[in-house]
Amino acid sequence: MRVAFLSNRPFEDGPVSQPFLESDPANIAYVVGGPCCSHLTVRWLSHQALTDTLRPFDLVFVPLDMRSFTTVQEIIAACRDRVATYSEGSVSDYQTLSPEDQVRFVHILRNVAVNFVYWERYVPFYRSLTDVPTEYLPYPYLLEEARKQVCAAASELREVTLPSGLVGGTRNGLCSIAVSRELLRCGLVDRVNCWLTPGTFAADAQAIASLLFGQPLPGRPLRGRLSWRHWLARSGVDYRALLRLSRHLGLPRRDRSDRSLVYNDRVAFHRR
């Protein structure tokens, strides 16, 4: 069976020869040995070109992103009986849609071959909206890749690392800070590392320090500089050509030595 994965991320099109380092559903393409194709490419294809591109595949995974319904509908029109939607299934995301988009959302669920949800608890919700099979399919856990990072117990540092702060685009930020505070209080870890979004770095660091150590917030939060990378990612602009040019020219990466701030010996903030 030939399987393709259409991602809404700015990945390069083609076979996936190595896993994505981020926790990304596009790793399905790596696991099944199929290619990945970006929505940034798909959205410019005519109906016939899209049909021809997807014809060789027996199953086409399509992330059901609330911001790209039009692209998803075009893919379904090109190969309806071979499309599998893939989403976290969050009811909160669904509720943010306009009434019109909620109808489009349900219409998509009812006009594909199968719907996969990577949060098991939302499977009943999806099944209540469509007669199309809806199944639980978690992210692939890349065991062999994870084993390469294993350290001997004696060399492990008593640190925890949080992938984002309070405004890093995750709903788990506050929960992670609460757990970290308890780990520090109980002496189970010696240090917490927080990776924060550059554009809101200062304000986020102040808020986290306040939650961890009970210090009052300043009257006026600090402002961070604009993160062009963050803006490009949210704008939908296809900036893959800029990334390729940067690699071709061998431009040096920005020195990251000044992108960290050690608040005290128990917490450190790092810019992404």
Query: Using one digit for the tens of pLDDT, what is the confidence trace for 183-224?
Result: 998 988 888 888 887 778 888 888 888 888 887 776 655 555
Bridge-partner residues for 6, per DSSP?
Answer: 37
Report pTM. Answer: 0.68
The helix (run of H) or strand (run of E) holding residue 95 is helix 91-95
Length of the chain: 272
Cβ pair 140, 181 in contact under 8 A: no
Calculate mean pLDDT across residues 52-81: 88
Q: How many helices (H) and strands (E) does the chain have?
A: 12, 11
Q: Please name each of the domains of the chain with its CATH number.
A: 3-136 (3.40.50), 151-271 (no CATH)
pLDDT interval class at 12 (50, 70, 90)? confident
Calculate mean pLDDT across residues 164-188: 83
Q: What are phi and psi of 190, to 5 degrees?
A: -100, -20
Sheet holding 14-15, edge to edge: 14-15, 35-38, 3-7, 59-63, 83-87, 114-117, 134-136
Calculate mean pLDDT across residues 64-79: 85
Calculate mean pLDDT across residues 29-45: 86
Q: Is the pLDDT of residue 258 over 60?
A: no
